[in-house]
Amino acid sequence: MSILKWLEEWYESNCDGDWEHQFGLSLNTLDNPGWCLRLDLNYTLFEDVIFPEVLIDRSEYDWVRCIKKGSSIECTGGSKNLEEMLSIVKKWMDSNPPDSVAAEKHMQEVMKVRNFHESVRGGSWSYSG
C-alpha cells in the first residue's frame, strides 16, 4: 500500500460524523523550503500513546523532525522528505497497535462525546458546509 493510500485510510477511519469537523490533518510548506505536517490524534486510538521524538539532520535540505505536541504529531522536514515524514508516523502507528481494552475505551469516549453533541443540538447533526 502506498503511503498516500495509508494516509487516506487513516483519515477515513477516524471520520465519524464529528471528528472530521474539529480535527484532521494539515499539510503546509515551509519557506526554507520544506514541509510541515500535523496530524490530530484527538479522539483516536493513538491519542494517549507515547511518540518518541525523531530528529534527523543529514544536510541543510535533507532533514526531518517529528514530535508529539499535546494530542498532535507535528513533523517538519526538507522539501524531499514528505514521504519519509509520513513513513515515520505510519511505522509508529503500526508498531503500537491498540489492544481491545484501549479500543473499547476509545469507543466509549467517542460515544460520550457524540451523545453530548447530539443532546446539545437536539438530535442528530449534519454538516452543511
**Cα–chain-centroid distance for residue 118?**
25
In a domain, 94, yes or no: yes
The domain tally of the chain equals 1
The Cα 102–Cα 29 span in angstroms is 35
In a domain, 54, yes or no: yes
pLDDT over 90 (residue 43):
no
In a domain, 103, yes or no: no
In a domain, 83, yes or no: yes
> 64-70 — which CB contacts under 8 Å span 24+ positions?
64/88, 68/41
Domain of 62, in residue numbers:
3-98
Query: Could you tell me the pLDDT band of residue 129, with boundaries at 50, 70 and 90?
Result: very low
pLDDT (0 to 100) of residue 127: 46
In a domain, 129, yes or no: no
In a domain, 122, yes or no: no
pLDDT over 90 (residue 36):
yes
